[in-house]
Structure 1
């Protein structure tokens, strides 16, 4: 199975938004996003680096890293997808490890919040070397702060 990466286009983001996995949809709703497409577009626009992963002939995941607005030495990696599973999930983990390794030197640390209900995303963060730090409330839902800080 081959994964290719392309520049995000409106059409690829629309496809991912229309086929987004339920866990990502729930997480976006808890954060107050008006729509999955709005979340994708704004995430891409705010990112220093962003791309769309394709496999099986379709765009399947968008990911990137944005500067944290309160401290631009910190990066906020993100991913929204159709829900990679099975063999493709393992292959995508490998390319995600490379992405994190490539962007890490640009920042003093990386962090993001994950909906406590989104177990696959939590496993993903742990597999990429992120550590859980604390729980935050987001519109009445618990979100776990995950971070990757080389000096900690």
Structure 2
């Protein structure tokens, strides 16, 4: 049965080494780090980090949220997935909607940045109610778009 649990470093490693191309590109453009290094860092600073496993127990999506140290009450959600997400899209969407509702009870604002070329992720974020800002160029020279949502 497809299910979600707290992520382990083994789960993070598996997803990092099998990450979707768009996620690899986004991490590279945003940080210049490997997906594994970025995910380990994100896991260390996050308030919670979870994994979605397929029916065989194989992890295919890691997601978490960190508190923004510069803005009180702001959560910084993030997610990396493998191509197995496509086969488990319905369950993934159910988890995402419910986790998103959960985050809105913990934080007053949710915000992060996405690669401006990652149109599939941006459409999905918009479907969850995020506002997607126009693209800007990040410090590494790539176009990114801020996504954000306030509780009120």
TM-score, reference length from structure 1: 0.91
Q: Which residue is equivalent to 1:129? A: 129
8 Å contact 1:3–1:92 — kept in the other structure?
no
1-structure distance, mates of 2:26, 2:107:
25
Partner SS, residue 113 of structure 2: strand
8 Å contact 2:3–2:55 — kept in the other structure?
no
Alignment of 1:20-31 (within 5 A): 20-31=19-30
1-structure distance, mates of 2:151, 2:106:
12
Q: Which residue is equivalent to 1:114? A: 114
CA RMSD for the aligned pairs? 1.4
Q: CA deviation at 1:150?
A: 2.8
Structure 1 portions without partners, runs of 5+: none
Alignment of 1:1-150 (within 5 A): 2-57=1-56, 58-83=58-83, 84-86=85-87, 88-138=88-138, 139-150=140-151
8 Å contact 1:8–1:50 — kept in the other structure?
yes
Partner SS, residue 85 of structure 1: helix
Structure 2 portions without partners, runs of 5+: none
Q: CA deviation at 1:64?
A: 0.8
Higher strand share: 1
TM-score, reference length from structure 2: 0.91
8 Å contact 1:21–1:81 — kept in the other structure?
yes
- Count of aligned pairs: 149
After TM superposition, what 4+ stretches of structure 1 lie above 4 angstroms from structure 2?
Answer: none
Partner SS, residue 95 of structure 2: helix
